[in-house]
Amino acid sequence: MIAQVAIDLPNIETLDYSFNSPNTNNAAKKAIIGHWVIVKVKNKKNLGLVVGVKNSSPAKKVKPIEFIIDTLPPVDDSFLEFMVFVAKYYHRPLGKVAFNSFPKLLKSVKNIESNYIKKKKDYFLKTNNPSGEENKKKIQAKVDWELNEEQSTCYRSIVSSTKPILLHGVTGSGKTRLYFSAIKKILDESATSQVLYLVPEIGLTSNLQILLENYFPSHEIGIYTSNQTPLSRAKTWLNVSTGKTKIILGTRMAIFLRLFNLQLIIVDEEHDTSFKQSEGFRYSARDLAVYRATNLGIKIILGSATPSLESWVQTKRQKYTYINLKSRASGQLPPKLIIYRKSPYSYENGISENTLKILNQHINAGQQALLYLNKKGWAPVQSCLECNWSAKCKNCSVNLVLHKDRNDFLLCHFCGYKELPPKFCNICGSNRLRLLGIGTEQLEYKISRLIPAARIIRIDKQLIKKKKEFDACLQKIENGDVDIIIGTQILTKGHDFTKVTLVIALEIESYLKHPDFRASERLFQSLLQVSGRAGRHPQQSKKYQEPVFITEVLDPDNDFLKDLSSANYKDFAEKLIVERKTWNLPPFTNLATLNFTHSDKVILGRETNRVLAELTDLIPDSEKSKVKFSGPLKVFPERLSKKYRLRILLEADERTDLHRTLNTIKANIMNIKVNTIIDVDPIDF
């Protein structure tokens, strides 16, 4: 018998191995599919997964399996089928899919041969330490919930639905309460059931973990994210695979966990682009979650205050059940929107005089304000007044951003390249250098000068690099030790700030100029999400200021802002759907890109054009009307980490036509001199 083994190696689907190893037995031969094995590739031992068996191999010489691993739980048929689907849909080698997010400690042949898992048995069997009692007490009130009338109605709809569920609830409407109610029902029905709870950002896991531990004290909560220690990730993987852990909270990588008895999937903030992997293996965890749930016949809830158009259209096609939470759980009204025209004062001080007045009113009332600016650093551009030169990254075709934390430095936000800011222009030698634009650092400085007594905290990924630091900042906000929060996109997602009643969004218009057809959808989502941080909880105070959302723009009469004024995402989504359908854009067509990179711009251009020409010759005339392709198209940034980038875009009305063409491309023209990645359902343009 021959075993087909998937290995974590590039451009290899599976390799054939025989059962001739003395360490294999007859019982193992009968049920070897799904087992982890050690095999040799060019005399180097590798961990592999048996994905199939057959009677013979075309290879002249077939190596034997070294041994079958009994310390790693085998993969069941349903999860193996899931991995095969993922490999075919995203056109990735099966081994790359099987080992995606697989713990490195468990993958190490050295650890396997030294019985690492058995040696660490006590650690792996130990129940995950619950969060500290002090933290639990601080948020205990948040988990002593009873569903209100609207939530109860929605919950009954969730229970009765046999389709994927799109839970559209305004910010603060209590979507988490419904998630927890659904989890409780699943766990009450069966002691072996497991729940997968996906969130878009690592920063959302801490408070959710505490809430889950408080609400489900008798169940072990597992965390699976990229910032865990290798040992912690290995423990979670093992406990999830064996069924010990019942609730798994994780980011997109957790979709590849093999769960013992998965019965419910929750995808919170389902609209968030973080669910799509942007580098390497470009999968969508949200889309895979829907496929996995549908294939298993289990319930899945996609939740958002601003659903993606892809999910929205699925409800219109009767593929998803649409459930709407229209009111905030606290009974509070949504914040009032105020749009101010930018003034010279705004450019000088970061905000206008009118905004400053309202900001002072909220702070003086003992409330908190959140200033949203999605630009890190001090200034996005340093340029020359004489010749218009600007400081560029030596590895990427982007401007360097000036930072002033501790010492002045210019930083590339794409590759991390850093240098000291020049005193003279690199082209003409002039010392007339200026800074253009404003980032969170400069905004913090300006606000601190306007309101010296204010306690200000800045939160962005440049400053907060570790989860513990982020958690500490959130705790300071919760404790009331902060008056003003300044932050980027990281603060728009899912956070429940008790005392925030004012949100100010700055520098938003530049995002409307982006050529990406999804730009307005994403901006509307971000602004509605961040505005929802204001006024989520009632406060008893004679000085209480009603929740307000302010944005400052050059053109208050912009059509986009008129849509935003209504704060009605449903109407906005319906308007976008008409536009997308008119122009035959997703979700009314299917896209894929061939992404090419090379350090030599000339070679890249030549090879990309050659692929385009071969595509024209390779695709039969009967297929050309079904699949359109265009390019070479430029990508922003054109150069990234010393590699130039181009892409070819493929478009088809039917997915089957698109995938048939991609399979033809893989089989005939992927062996070229430049690096190539296929991206199915791309989201960045």
d(CA 294, CA 301): 12
CATH number of the domain enclosing 302: 3.40.50.300
CB 144 within 8 A of CB 302: no
Tell me what pLDDT residue 122 has. 75
* N-terminal to C-terminal alpha carbon distance within the chain: 48
Over the stretch 42-84, which tens digit does the pLDDT of each residue have? 989 999 999 999 888 888 889 999 999 989 999 999 999 999 9
End position of a domain, from candidates 580, 610, 636: 580
Please give the DSSP secondary-structure letter assigned to residue 68: E
Beta strands in 540-585 (DSSP E): 548-553
d(CA 2, CA 15): 10
pTM for the model:
0.93
d(CA 24, CA 45): 17
- Mean per-residue pLDDT, 222-230: 93
Report whether pLDDT(142) > 70.
no
- 442 part of a folded domain: no
Q: Are residues 11 and 134 in the same domain?
A: no
**Mean pLDDT taken over the chain:** 91
Crossing angle, helix 569-582 and helix 559-566, to 10 degrees?
Answer: 140
Tell me what pLDDT residue 10 has. 86
Q: Are residues 368 and 410 in the same domain?
A: no
Question: Three-class SS string for 25-41?
Answer: CHHHHHCCCCCEEEEEE
End position of a domain, from candidates 562, 580, 598: 580
Q: Are residues 139 and 258 in the same domain?
A: yes
Report whether pLDDT(348) > 80.
yes
- 114 part of a folded domain: no
- 103 part of a folded domain: no
Lowest mean pLDDT among 145-154, 268-277, 459-468: 459-468
d(CA 609, CA 599): 16
- Mean per-residue pLDDT, 658-684: 90
- Mean per-residue pLDDT, 353-369: 96
Over the stretch 279-319, which tens digit does the pLDDT of each residue have? 889 999 999 999 999 999 999 999 999 999 999 999 999 99
Report whether pLDDT(19) > 80.
no
Tell me what pLDDT residue 134 has. 44
Report whether pLDDT(525) > 90.
yes
Q: Which helix (H) or strand (E) holds 2?
A: strand 2-7
Tokens of 313: 């259209």
- 108 part of a folded domain: no
Report whether pLDDT(429) > 80.
yes
Tell me what pLDDT residue 581 has. 96
- 113 part of a folded domain: no
Tell me what pLDDT residue 495 has. 82
Tell me what pLDDT residue 115 has. 86
Higher pLDDT, 132 or 552: 552
- Mean per-residue pLDDT, 455-482: 84
Report whether pLDDT(253) > 50.
yes
Q: pLDDT band at residue 116, thresholds of 50, 70 and 90?
A: confident
CA contacts within 13 A on the Cβ side of 17: 33
CA contacts within 13 A on the Cβ side of 522: 20
- 445 part of a folded domain: no
End position of a domain, from candidates 48, 75, 102: 75
Per-residue burial over 18-56, b = 16 or more CB atoms within 10 Å of its CB, e = otherwise:
bbebeebeeebeeebbbbbbbbeeeeeebbbbbbbeeee
- 427 part of a folded domain: yes
Q: Are residues 510 and 640 in the same domain?
A: no
Report whether pLDDT(671) > 60.
yes
Report whether pLDDT(24) > 70.
no
Report whether pLDDT(140) > 60.
no
Report whether pLDDT(136) > 90.
no
Q: Are residues 346 and 276 in the same domain?
A: no
Label residue 195 exposed, middle or buried (CB < 10 Å: 0-12, 13-18, 19+): buried
Query: CA-based diameter of the chain, in Å?
Result: 86
Domain that holds residue 197: 123-325
CB 59 within 8 A of CB 16: yes
The residues that bridge with 649 in the sheet, in sequence order, are: 593, 630
Q: Are residues 309 and 361 in the same domain?
A: no
Tell me what pLDDT residue 46 has. 96
Q: Are residues 47 and 176 in the same domain?
A: no
CB 248 within 8 A of CB 199: no
Over the stretch 543-583, which tens digit does the pLDDT of each residue have? 888 999 999 999 998 889 988 988 789 999 999 999 999 99
- 93 part of a folded domain: no
Q: pLDDT band at residue 137, thresholds of 50, 70 and 90?
A: very low
Q: pLDDT band at residue 25, thresholds of 50, 70 and 90?
A: low
- Mean per-residue pLDDT, 241-258: 96
Long-range contacts of 573-578 (CB under 8 A, 24+ apart): 573/307, 573/309, 573/312, 576/309, 576/520, 576/521, 577/309, 577/312, 577/313, 577/316
Return phi, psi of residue 253, to 5°: -60, -25
Over the stretch 328-339, which tens digit does the pLDDT of each residue have? 888 888 899 999
Q: pLDDT band at residue 353, thresholds of 50, 70 and 90?
A: very high
Higher pLDDT, 448 or 478: 448
Q: How many domains does the chain have?
A: 5
Please give the DSSP secondary-structure letter assigned to residue 305: S
The angle subtended at Cα 22 by Cα 19 and Cα 24, nearest 5°, is 50
Any residues with CB less than 8 A from the CB of 215 and at least 6 apart, and which?
143, 180, 184
Lowest mean pLDDT among 23-37, 114-128, 235-249, 389-403: 23-37
Tell me what pLDDT residue 464 has. 66
Q: Are residues 266 and 342 in the same domain?
A: no
In three-state secondary structure terms, 596 is strand
d(CA 552, CA 530): 15
Q: Are residues 68 and 195 in the same domain?
A: no
Q: Are residues 194 and 272 in the same domain?
A: yes
Report whether pLDDT(127) > 80.
no
Q: Are residues 625 and 672 in the same domain?
A: yes
CB 184 within 8 A of CB 210: no
Q: Are residues 385 and 424 in the same domain?
A: yes
Over the stretch 579-605, which tens digit does the pLDDT of each residue have? 999 999 999 999 999 999 999 999 999
d(CA 373, CA 380): 12
